[in-house]
Amino acid sequence: DAKTTQPPSMDCAEGRAANLPCNHSTISGNEYVYWYRQIHSQGPQYIIHGLKNNETNEMASLIITEDRKSSTLILPHATLRDTAVYYCIVREYSGYALNFGKGTSLLVTP
């Protein structure tokens, strides 16, 4: 599975959009991009995933560049409860395990 690079930490004001970048320049054609988050003392929570097209669900939007070498997770209106570590993971479609990197620690401030 391709390696991902994320900034170690980010801040965001409550109510503003949080844009979390992820670089996956070695991604191959059959690899999906997944985003999870881990709030302190809880298990990772699935947020969203995509292959080529941009995706949106009730939690977030995922924007994947046309060359698929990077993506951005967007939390449209961040709340204090969105403070967590966010993991961007690339996994082959037929693969199983998730390789977690260090992620981005997002702090949402009042």
Partner 1 sequence: SAVISQKPSRDICQRGTSLTIQCQVDSQVTMMFWYRQQPGQSLTLIATANQGSEATYESGFVIDKFPISRPNLTFSTLTVSNLSPEDSSIYLCSVGGQGPGQPQHFGDGTRLSIL
Identity of the amino acid at 55: E
Which residue in 46, 57, 77, 109 binds partner 1 (CB under 8 A)? Answer: 46
Which residue in 23, 49, 72, 74 binds partner 1 (CB under 8 A)? Answer: 49
Q: How far apart are CA 106 and CA 83, in angstroms?
A: 5
Tokens linked to 29:
């054609």
Rank residues 26 and 99 by Cβ distance to partner 1 and give the closer one: 99
The answer to whether residue 56 forms part of the interface with partner 1 (CB under 8 A) is: no
The answer to whether residue 87 forms part of the interface with partner 1 (CB under 8 A) is: yes
Question: Mapping DSSP to helix (H, G, I), strand (E, B) and coil, where does residue 105 land?
Answer: strand
